[in-house]
Chain A
Amino acid sequence: MRTLRVDWPACKGRGVCAEVLPELIALDEWGYPIVGGPVPDDLRDLAVEAVAACPHAALRLLTARA
């Protein structure tokens, strides 16, 4: 299972991740991502896209710790 993790100091709230992966990422009232739960297999490709699309490289896809 994979999870998305935000590098909070790096994140500047550009919101690209929420555009690419609205199924898992919402934005709070200040524009910062709210990541919902682990990444299901069918969303894995989109999650990779979201990570790649972040202009501040502030999103990472991690293998969830058991």
Chain B
Amino acid sequence: MTSVVSAHPPAEVVVDHGPRLLASIGDTMKLATHRELWSDPRLSRVATGQLIEWARAVGIAGRGGAGFPFATKLAAAVKAAGLVRRPVIVVNAAEGEPASAKDFALALTVPHRVLDGAAATAYSLRCNEIHVVVPRDRPLVGEALRAAIAERRDAGERLSWKVTETGPGFVAGQARAVIEALSGRPGLPTTAWQPEAVSGLRGRPTLLSNAETWAQVGALVTLGPEAYAGLGADAEPGTTLLSLSGLPGLAPGTVRVVEVPYGTQWSEVLGDAVSRPVLVGGFHGTWAPGGALASMRVSRVAMGAMGAMGLTLGAGVAVLLPDGECPVAVTAAITAYLASESAGRCGPCFNGLPVLAAEVSALAGCDVGASYTRIRDLLGLVERRGACAHPDGTARLVRSMVTVFEDEVVAHLGGVCRIAEDGLRARIGEGMATGLAGVGVRAGVGAEPRAEACGEARAETGVGRP
């Protein structure tokens, strides 16, 4: 039994052909072939006002996790900019979330789509400085983007591209942490008194967006809003990338990256596995109960069916709960990982997350001391009490676990993990057939076999970094 929860970047990434951004994967690594399909952004110079209007019309939301409207960010940067306060553009491909691989996929298959979006915006804003932030623990991303930038320079593009490595770590890709890293300081979150678009790198208006967001902006500039809206739902034009893990037939540690138009049925994306519980939005995300997504469509709109259940796509990560694994144990493993990833700067996060993780672990292990009230109290103590959203995201995950898997949580509080118990029963059944070989070892001889079985799931999920 292996878990989908890992503290490390995916061991393998499978990238599917998609309808737009991933339409030409494999063919357009090189700039020359890319240009045969997608025109140079220098040629389609879009006025800033028009770009804001277009981005607002098609509703491009940030793909880094927060889903902030790109048009609003761009408008703020334009307003804050001045003759001697030229804006700075940052392409954030730092992707610190272990279950996410979409930025990795973009960098390795269609790097110029990402860079085109940033370049087009730079031309539009008349700024020259573009930073590309890449993760240290996924070296192929930096390699691919550096090679792509070199090609563009050779082709005569006169933008100042600068690639900076950041991380490793879950919070290294957080906007303020990225700006700190670019400023030459340790890449850790700081308090944002003003939005980055108003005052970011060296106090300049900084348009910091996720790599996929830039690729979407690139597509919008090249296609125009009408053609861009040719894919997706009426209320929500365009496509989104998804990083899927735990799919049947996918080896553990493998992430499948797909591009789907908004409005695609989840049952189409996940197949029969849609009946399983799914962690939507990654480790800072929300659990969807088994089968809940079956009638839903892929969407970021807060008013939609997903939004009504509190399911936000975030960075587009979906982790399926493997068959026979306890959701409480999986949540405990993720919480422990997130606690270990606290940057350690803010007191409530540094102190609160480890305690919260220990409490959720106690619950997963069916400990006598596990306390629901204590977990609820701790959630209140960490939420909105940090420079970045790490404590909030962690609290969101735990909160959704206690809501969605209420029955499981209650069973654990009563000292029983029903899933581990079923598994034990199944294993004993197997053991009967095969002469009981090994059953004693797996179940843990003696007291509390159920707790042991659940603890075992936790141990196997590879909590923390070595």
Contact = CB atoms under 8 A, between A and B. Distances in A.
Q: Say whether A associates with B.
A: yes
Interface of A: 6-13, 28-32, 34, 60
A60 B347 CA distance: 17
Given A28-B381, A29-B381, A32-B385, A9 B191 contact: yes
A8 B381 contact: no
B297 to A, nearest CB: 34
A32 B191 contact: no
B347 A12 contact: yes
A28 B387 CA distance: 17
B348 A9 contact: no
B346 A11 contact: yes
Contacts of B168: none
Majority secondary structure, A binding face: loop
B191 A8 contact: yes
Interface string B183-207: 0000011110100000000000000
Nearest to B351: A30
13 contacts: A6-B385, A9-B190, A9-B191, A9-B345, A11-B346, A12-B347, A13-B347, A30-B352, A31-B347, A32-B347, A32-B348, A34-B385, A60-B193
Nearest to B345: A9
Nearest to A8: B346
B381 A11 contact: no
Interface of B: 188-191, 193, 345-349, 351-352, 381, 385-387
Contacts of B381: 28-29, 34
A32 B381 CA distance: 10
A46 B347 CA distance: 24
Main secondary structure of the interface of B (DSSP, over half): loop
Which among B191, B351, B352, B381 has the highest number of chain A CB atoms within 10 Å?
B191
A10 B348 CA distance: 12
Contacts of A28: 348, 381
A10 to B, nearest CB: 7
Contacts of B191: 7-10
A8 B385 contact: yes
A13 B193 CA distance: 20
Contact of A30 (B188, B189, B347, B387): B347
Given A8-B348, A31-B347, A32-B347, 7 more contacts: A7-B191, A8-B347, A8-B386, A9-B190, A12-B347, A32-B385, A34-B381
A8 B383 CA distance: 12
Contacts of B190: 9
A9 B176 CA distance: 12
Contacts of B386: 8
Nearest to B176: A9
A37 B190 CA distance: 23
A24 to B, nearest CB: 15
A9 B346 contact: yes
B407 to A, nearest CB: 30
A11 to B, nearest CB: 6
A8 B346 CA distance: 5
Nearest to A11: B347
Contacts of A32: 347-348, 351, 385
B351 A8 contact: no
Contacts of A9: 188-191, 345-346, 387
A32 B385 CA distance: 10
Contacts of A12: 347
Contacts of B189: 9
B255 to A, nearest CB: 32
Contacts of A30: 347-348, 351-352
B309 to A, nearest CB: 29
B374 to A, nearest CB: 11
Nearest to B391: A8
A51 to B, nearest CB: 14
Contacts of B385: 6, 8, 32, 34
Task: Determine which residue in A12, A29, A32 has the highest number of CB atoms from chain B within 10 A of its CB, and name it.
Answer: A32
A13 B188 CA distance: 19
A34 B381 CA distance: 8
A32 B387 CA distance: 14
Contacts of B351: 30, 32
Nearest to B190: A9
Nearest to B352: A30
